[in-house]
Chains A and B, each alone.
Chain A
Amino acid sequence: MADVVVEVRNLQKTFKRADGTLVKAIDDVSLSVRSGECIVLLGPSGCGKTTLLRSIAGLEKPEDGEILINSETMFSGDQRIEIPPQNRALSMIFQSYALWPHMTAFDNVAFPLRSRKTSKEEVAERVNQTLEMVGVPELAGQHPSDMSGGQQQRVALARALVAGDDLILLDEPLSNVDAKVRDQLRRELVEMQRELNFSAIYVTHDQIEAMELADRIAVMELGKIVQLGPPRDIYEKPSTRYVANFIGTVNELPGTVSSMNPDGSAAVKTQLGIVNVPSEEEFPEGSGVVLAFRPERCSISPQQVDGSLNWKGSVNTSSFFGSHTEHHIKISEDISFIVWQADPKQLTHDEEVWVTVDHTNLRVLPFEGHEGIDENH
């Protein structure tokens, strides 16, 4: 389990825009992927996740740093080594599937084996076996243009699996299929990865996908990995506002640190009074922070709850979503919170309620840095 399949060290890659400005697509990134692990590179478009994946595949040439696959150097800026993609013994699934339209599903899947000089009988056996495994044995003789998006996706998956490489790279493979098919394919992908025990690096901008697939998520921003950890850690202990906002919905209450308490908690002065919050990080006095908490970790109550933080507000909107009900509660002129309640009861507009949240559900995050996230991710 501890075997490292991919090791990326201090990778650098700069692009030149059409107007001549330089953009750091990969900015000193290090990452290691363990055997059988699925790492998800998560971030909005332009954060460098696809460039990182393509560099590992050998389709982009970084300027500096090192990439090792199974302890063999595939790229090294210092040693001037660059192994071409066809010699890297990995598979990749493309966003567009990249099935070759002039070949049948069988020939598409057989291609990696034939490129590696496999005997005819073995090709036939393994291709059929793999098509069977991904659930489309009946498509063997069909051309991609005669298949649905989901079917094409399965054939692309078969092509990636057939050679039995222990590393598979996936570049937003599910972004082109319908929501229903996407859910199903995602579950099958998880099962298959567990069963065949290959390592996977998966690029997506979809946080749901990331949460379901990842052993660890690497959240990327402007060419850097800003946080790396299991989905639960990323969700519950985001290290920056950017990460907190990218994964899920978050309420933010801005303030300044007035002092650090002896018990390690921080006293934060906010518009709604001084709040004492447990903090793993030391903040200097006077530093700007936000107190972040998730909508499902707070609740609505008709009166104050002892031992919790209580803020009085009025209901702005209240919408029923099936699994939960979402309330927008206006606390003051420029502060309002989102609260998710399992209780399907909707509240009336302007109704006065209390928003209560336990201190332990608050997280102190530095104010500076990314102001939320781009809308167009």
Chain B
Amino acid sequence: MPSKQRGVKTLGSKLTPFQAFSLLVGFGTAFLILYPFSRVLVRLFWVDGSLNIEPFRNVVQLPNLGQLMFNTFTLVIAGGGIALVVGFVLAWLNERTDARMGGLTDILPLLPFVMPVIAASAGWVIIGAPRAGYFNYYIREVLDLVGIHLKQGPFDIFTWYGLIFVYALYLIPYPYLLISAGLRNLDPSLEEQARVCGAGLWKTLRRVTLPNVWPSIAGSALIVATIGFAMISVPILIGTGADIQVISTRIVRLLNFTYPPKTAEAVGLSVVVLIVLVAIWRLQARLIRGGRFATIGGRAARGRRIELGKWRWVARSLTFGYVFLALIAPLYGLLITSLNGFWSPKTRWGQLTLEHFRTVLWFDQKTRDSLFNSVYLGLIGATIGMIIAATISSYVQRSTGKVSVFIDGVAKLPAAVSGLIIAVGFILAFAGPPFKLHGTMLILLLAFIATHMPSGSIAADGAASQVGHSLMEAAYVSGASESRTFWRINIPLMLPGLVAGWSLLFVRYAGDFQASAILSGTSNQTAGKKIIEIYEMGSYAYLAALAMGLTLVTGTIIGVVFALTRRRSSISSVV
């Protein structure tokens, strides 16, 4: 009863060793995020002891700024909107109808998470290009049979619709996760009551289900917008071909392909994104606060599922169709191209060769190293990142002071700041003396941890919130210290959520092209950066082999981790 209320007056108390540890981790993380970020801001806006608004003027004067804004917003709104709708439909079908296929349903729509988006985008270039794209070729072959002869197409990935399509494809898992969780927590008897009161299926959905999962939908919109604005792999691989520039790709160009790098304009652009995201975040918070929503009671009620009859397999094929488009199709493209030796839809099935895999994964030392670096950073970084996130979440969960609010806020801050800007901050803060981390793996590791802290932190929050207060209190009155309680009670109970969060981080780190775009060079090459380099040189077989190799490694490692930790866990406990 009183856990949500606070004592008015508190006594001064000494820090326990565990609190000291938590605070050390928290402030260490805050330093890692805030210090580079403040270096960027100071460097830009503080010239000779006074405020300098020059960068904003430069941003306003950027050529084609209007076009850039229009492109970005169109992409995020269209792609994000489609992702929300599809995510909701998949979640509803799987949670409320008999289209559900046991535990498989929870995993299928999340499988695309295993494939780094940069590899998937490369795959879509290969299958969706108008002439050489495999899909288009196969469709033309079929059309030939019925007498329709096309030279190219019918589809073209290098267009607005192609870009929006791929964009939406890799945003769908986020709303799916959040909205299924929302539906699972919504007592089905509310919907059954509506049905009993004579409301039809559609009316129930519209009048009862939707309004009550509104918080999950609003939360999904925020996440989709955050990821959408920052997403760089899809627009750099597909948008470039379509000649559509967005803010994220422009920032990369300003920083990476311009000499000297136009840091001021890049930061200015990312401040624009920051302002938009803060506005969306406020709007979402207000929407959620304004409404009344049913929440879960103690027990998980299981309502009867809606029977779809013959539509059941149509509904199921939606899920399978999604997995096919998001995972299997691009993997197929990558696999065939890398085995074929060059990018051509006319596969010479008899002459497939592993030569390119061998080159990329073994003979070409630089590519091999880049893959090794990425996997290594992923393993080490995700582990450290999740331990930090779990420590912070547990600390925030049990203390309500200003310090915990601050640490929690800072851990979530990078979500609103482009990873590219944080990377620039890392150059300013840590590349030179006294740290001298330029070109090292350590600077990448630290930047990854800082950039992707919000994902880890949100996953850990979800895991921490599942550990009820009384479980910890029972440990205290059993004589267990705070650290014993943390390691013996909190961590084991949070494990499924932490493993899911770890997997998410691992794939993000291994396929990173945000921090790497700025911080990775010849001495600390990452796979993400290498993929872009190879793409710009136009050697698609190598590109495919590297992207395929990366996906194989991430897929295998995540598969092994889940097999080892799967007791009662499931990937759906991420959020």
Q: Do A and B come from one complex?
A: yes
Q: Which of B134-142, B221-229, B343-351, B468-476 lines the interface with chain A?
A: B468-476
B4: nearest chain-A partner, CB-CB: A18
Closest to A57 in B: B477
In the complex with contacts A57-B477, A91-B477, A102-B13 CB distance below 8 A: no
B474 A14 Cβ-Cβ under 8 A:
no
Interface residues in chain B, defined as those with a beta carbon under 8 Å from any beta carbon in chain A = 1-2, 5-13, 16, 468, 470-471, 473-481, 484, 488-489, 492-493, 495
Contacts A80-B12, A100-B493 given; indicate if A16 touches B6 (C-beta within 8 A). yes
A275–chain B nearest beta-carbon distance, Å: 42
**A54 and B2 contacting across the interface, CB-CB below 8 Å:** yes
Query: Which residues, 28 to 86 on A, are CB-close (under 8 Å) to B?
Result: 45-46, 50-51, 54, 57-63, 77, 80, 82, 84-86
Q: Which 4 A-B pairs have the closest CB atoms?
A: A98-B474, A112-B478, A85-B476, A98-B470
| Most chain A CB neighbours (cut-off 10 Å) among B8, B12, B493 | B8
- The reply to whether B477 and A15 form a contact with Cβ atoms under 8 Å apart is no
Please report the C-alpha to C-alpha distance between residue A86 and residue B12 in the assembled complex, in whole angstroms.
Answer: 19
Instruction: Please tell me if the beta carbons of B476 and A59 are within 8 angstroms of each other in the complex.
Output: yes
Q: Are B8 and A16 in contact (CB under 8 A)?
A: yes
Chain A, range 291-339, C-beta contacts under 8 Å to B:
none
Bound complex: CA A95 to CA B470 (Å): 9
B353 CB to nearest chain A CB (Å): 49
Q: Is the CB of A60 within 8 A of B2?
A: yes
CB of B74, distance to nearest CB on chain A (Å): 42
Q: How far is the CA of A84 from the CA of B488 in the complex (A)?
A: 18
| Inter-chain pairs besides A59-B473, A99-B474, 18 sampled, C-beta below 8 Å | A15-B5, A16-B5, A50-B1, A51-B2, A57-B473, A61-B7, A63-B7, A80-B12, A82-B13, A90-B477, A92-B473, A95-B470, A98-B473, A100-B474, A115-B480, A116-B479, A159-B474, A169-B477
User: Looking across the interface, which residue of chain B has its beta carbon closest to that of A176?
Assistant: B298
Closest A residue to B489 using CB positions: A100
Q: Which of B7, B476, B493 meets A13, CB within 8 Å?
A: B7
11 residue pairs from A and B, CB less than 8 Å apart: A15-B2, A15-B6, A50-B1, A59-B477, A77-B11, A85-B473, A86-B478, A98-B468, A101-B493, A115-B480, A116-B479
Task: Report chain A residues within 8 Å CB of B493.
Answer: 100-102
Residues of A within 8 A of B5 (CB): 15-17
- The answer to whether B11 and A85 have CB atoms under 8 Å apart is no
Q: Are A94 and B470 in contact (CB under 8 A)?
A: yes
Q: How long is the Cα–Cα vector from A115 to B473 in the complex, in angstroms?
A: 14
**A25 at interface, CB cutoff 8 A:** yes
Pair B479/A163 contact, Cβ less than 8 Å: yes
Report yes or no: A94 in contact with B484, Cβ–Cβ below 8 A.
Answer: no
Residue of B nearest to A101 (CB): B493
Is A22 an interface residue, CB under 8 A from the partner?
A: yes
The prevalent SS among residues of A at the interface is loop
A85-139 at interface with B (beta carbon < 8 Å): 85-92, 94-96, 98-102, 111-112, 115-116
Instruction: Write the nearest CB–CB distance from A167 to chain B, whole angstroms.
Output: 10
A115 touching B474, Cβ below 8 Å = no
A58 to B1, CA, bound (A): 15
B487 to chain A, nearest CB (A): 12
Which of B11, B13, B470, B479 lies in contact with A112, CB distance below 8 A?
Answer: B479
A100 and B479 within 8 A (CB)? no
Q: Are A163 and B478 in contact (CB under 8 A)?
A: yes
Given the interface pairs A61-B10, A94-B473, the reply to whether A86 lies near B1 with Cβ below 8 Å is: no
Q: Are B478 and A63 in contact (CB under 8 A)?
A: no
With A15-B5, A100-B493 in contact, do A61 and B11 touch (Cβ < 8 Å)?
A: yes
Q: How far is the CA of A157 from the CA of B1 in the complex (A)?
A: 22
Whether the Cβ atoms of A159 and B478 lie closer than 8 Å is: yes
Does A111 contact B2, Cβ atoms closer than 8 Å? no
B570 to chain A, nearest CB (A): 15
Separation in Å of the A116 CB from the closest CB of chain B? 5
Check B2 against A25 for contact (C-beta < 8 Å).
yes
Minimum CB–CB distance for B14 against chain A, Å: 10
Pair B468/A96 contact, Cβ less than 8 Å: yes
Inter-chain contacts of B475 with A (CB < 8 A): 100, 111, 115
Distance to closest chain B CB from A340 (angstroms): 35
Q: Count chain A CB atoms within 10 A of each CB in B9, B470, B479 and give the residue with the most.
A: B479
Shortest distance from the beta carbon of B490 to any chain A beta carbon, whole Å: 10
Instruction: Establish whether residues A14 and B479, one from each chain, have CB atoms under 8 Å apart when the complex forms.
Output: no
- Residues from chain B with a CB closer than 8 A to the CB of A45 are 1
Identify B481's interface contact among A86, A98, A112, A163, CB under 8 A. A86
* CB neighbours of B492 from chain A (8 A): 102
Closest A residue to B474 by beta carbon equals A98
On chain A, the residues within 8 Å of B7 by CB distance are 13-15, 60-63
Q: Which residues of A contact B481 (CB under 8 A)?
A: 86, 115
- Pick the most buried of B471, B474, B480, B488: most chain A CB atoms within 10 A of its CB: B474
In the complex the two chains form, is B477's CB within 8 Å of A85's CB? yes
Q: Closest chain A residue to B472 by CB distance?
A: A98
Q: Which partner residue on chain B sits nearest A63 by CB separation?
A: B9
Q: Which residues from 142 to 187 on chain A have a C-beta closer than 8 Å to any C-beta of chain B? A: 159, 163, 169
A115 contact from B2, B11, B478, Cβ within 8 A: B478
Q: Nearest chain B CB to A219's CB is how many angstroms away? A: 18
Find chain B residues with CB under 8 A from A61 CB.
7, 10-11
